[in-house]
Structure formats: C-alpha cells, structure tokens
Amino acid sequence: MLSFADRLDAAVRRCHNPVLVGLDPRAESLPEGLRPSSERPTVGETSAAFGRFCRGVIDVVAPLVPAVKPQAAFFEQLGPSGMMVLAEVIEYAHENGLVVILDGKRNDIGSTAAAYADGMLGADGQSVWGADAATVSPYLGDDSLKPFIDVAVRRSAGIFVLVKTSNPGGKMLQDLVADGRPLYRHVAEYVEASAAETAGSCGYGAVGAVVGATYPAQLVELRAAMPHTWFLVPGFGSQGGTAKDVAAAFDSQGRGAIVNNSRGIIFAHASKRYAERFGAARWQEAVEAATQDMIAQLRDETPAGQL
C-alpha cells in the first residue's frame, strides 16, 4: 500500500484540486427535509439524520475533491449512536474513493496515545475507525506524538499535528516566544523532522501540520521552514480565510497542502450566496456549487492551479 502522503498526493493530483470538505453536522443547520421529524428528536433520530446528511454530501463531493474530514465532536456529542454513524460515514466515504481525515485532536501519554492511534488509524481490519489520518494535539510533548507516528507509519496512515490554529485565542500559548521563537515554531521543528524521516516518494511525510488560513504570514514562514510537511489548512471561508490567504500554503508546484471548508460547503444552502439560487430543497446542488466555486478560487489565486 502507498504511504499516506503519497496517497493524498495522488488523490489531489487526480482531482486537480486540494479541497478538503469538513463534515461537521449540526442539528440546527441541517436542510429542512433532512431534519428529524419529531419535535424533540432522540439522539438516535438525530444520529440517523447526521448519517443521511453526510452520505448526501459525500455523494456530491466524492467525484470532485480528494478528501473529507469528519469532525468527531459532532458525532460524539450524540453518544454511542453518534459514534456508530461516524463509523458508517467513514466507511461510506471510503467506498466512494475519498481519503478520510478524522478530526478528533486527540492525544495522551505513551500506551494511551497508542490506543487512540490503534483505534483511529489504518485500513479496515487494522483499525476499527479506519481513518487514513487523524488530527493530534501536541501539548503533551514528543513522547505523546511518537506512538501516533509509529502506528501511522506501520499502517500507511498519517497524522496532522496542531501547529498554528485558525482561532483568535490560539495566540495565548502558540505565539509565546521561548528561546527566541514562538511556541508554534518549536512544534513545527518536531513535526518537520518527523515528516522528513517518513517522507514518501512525493517528498512529503506521514506527519503533517495544521496551520490556519487566518494567519497568512505564518503560512509563508512555516511553508519555508517545513518542506516535507503536508499542511491541513482550516479557517477558509466562514472563518475569514481567502484563496489569496492560503496561496502560501502550497509549494511552487501547487502541492503539499489541503484546504478545509466545512460550513461554507455543507451548509451552502443557507448562505447568502447560494440560498436564493437553490434553497433547502436543492441543498445538494448548493453543496456542488460551493465546492466548484472553492475549486475555482484556489485554481485562480493559488499555485494549486497547476494541479
């Protein structure tokens, strides 16, 4: 099996775009026809609605984009029945040829980190969740990241470590300066070294970085500092990041980054831009239009146009 980095690179080149669609189902935002019918739905009913909705999104985006990113929090919020639907959504995305990045921002120490990695990462039969990659938080340090990297490499999977997140509050710790450089650069050094060690034939490694679209200057700085590291770029669209902002995430050939959009795509039917054109009933057409528009923006204004 190809390494995760090579699989992701191949998927991006096959689709000619680096769009990552975030699957963040929220009960109050589902298109009208997909909401549970009862007034006070059970978690089982809401879970079923999440499943229908995510499969509907996947049906539209699978022919267009390389990857999806289910957000674990929204499924976990519904308890075991939500987690069951999460597993089904991951499977359905795989059946439709998508790379799946499970966004759980997990971490722990030693053998507990290994348990998370064991559950989340790897093809079906190796892992119960079967994600191609997972997001990981670095606060616990190198001995918490290493078990994730070991499992990922062994199973041709990947991880994305939080480096510089898209939210305003990220600066509280990430921008503190220690030994002459901000904290996020300390994390970046570890990530880049691990990426270089695990680099596949595409030149990128099994260990990627999360770097927000809302910090374009840091994207420039980190792209230069992390030549072997895949970037997962959140914050595009609803959070304010533009195609111009994310241009620096790519290498000169337009590779090495995927740009996430969650609400802006999956709930496009409710946005100013698409609501009138499609409305709730034609929500899947709104998803398609928003995806195509994002693809066009990245093609026109970033090096990803070469893909």
Distance of CA 274 to the CA centre of its chain: 23
Question: For the chain, give me the number of helices (H) and strands (E)?
Answer: 13, 10
Half-sphere exposure of 149 (CA within 13 A, CB side): 24
- Taking the complex as a whole, the smallest distance from the CB of residue 40 to a second copy amounts, in Å, to 12
Choose the stretch contacting a second copy; rule: CB under 8 A; options: 175-183, 224-232, 253-261, 278-286: 175-183
Residue 262 backbone dihedrals phi, psi, to 5 degrees: -105, -90
111 binds a second copy (CB under 8 A): yes
Binders of a second copy among 226-265, rule CB under 8 A?
none
Which two structure tokens, joined as six digits, stand for 41? Answer: 């739905």
Choose the stretch contacting a second copy; rule: CB under 8 A; options: 8-16, 70-78, 192-200, 295-303: 70-78
140 binds a second copy (CB under 8 A): yes
Residues 6 or more apart in contact with residue 264 via CB below 8 angstroms: 236, 237, 238, 271, 290, 294
108 binds a second copy (CB under 8 A): yes
272 is catalytic: no
| Residues making up the chain, counted from first to last | 307
For residues 213 and 164, the answer to whether their CB atoms sit within 8 Å is: no
Residues 6 or more apart in contact with residue 107 via CB below 8 angstroms: 113, 116, 136, 137, 138, 139, 140, 144, 145, 148
- Taking the complex as a whole, the smallest distance from the CB of residue 187 to a second copy amounts, in Å, to 7
**Residue selected from 8, 98, 149, 162 as contacting a second copy according to rule CB under 8 A:** 162
- Taking the complex as a whole, the smallest distance from the CB of residue 35 to a second copy amounts, in Å, to 17
160 binds a second copy (CB under 8 A): no
Reduced to 3 DSSP states, what percent helix, strand and coil does the chain have, rounded to the nearest 5?
A: 50, 15, 30
197 binds a second copy (CB under 8 A): no
147/254 with CB nearer a second copy = 147
157/295 with CB nearer a second copy = 157
Burial of 77 (0-12, 13-18, 19+ CB in 10 A): middle
118/288 with CB nearer a second copy = 118
Write the binding mask 177 to 196 for a second copy: x where contact by CB under 8 A, - elsewhere. xxx---x--xx--x------
Q: Which residues bind to a second copy, rule: CB under 8 A?
A: 24, 26, 43, 71, 73-74, 76-80, 82-84, 86-87, 103-113, 115-116, 118-120, 128-129, 137-144, 146, 162, 165-174, 176-179, 183, 186-187, 190
Catalytic residues: 105
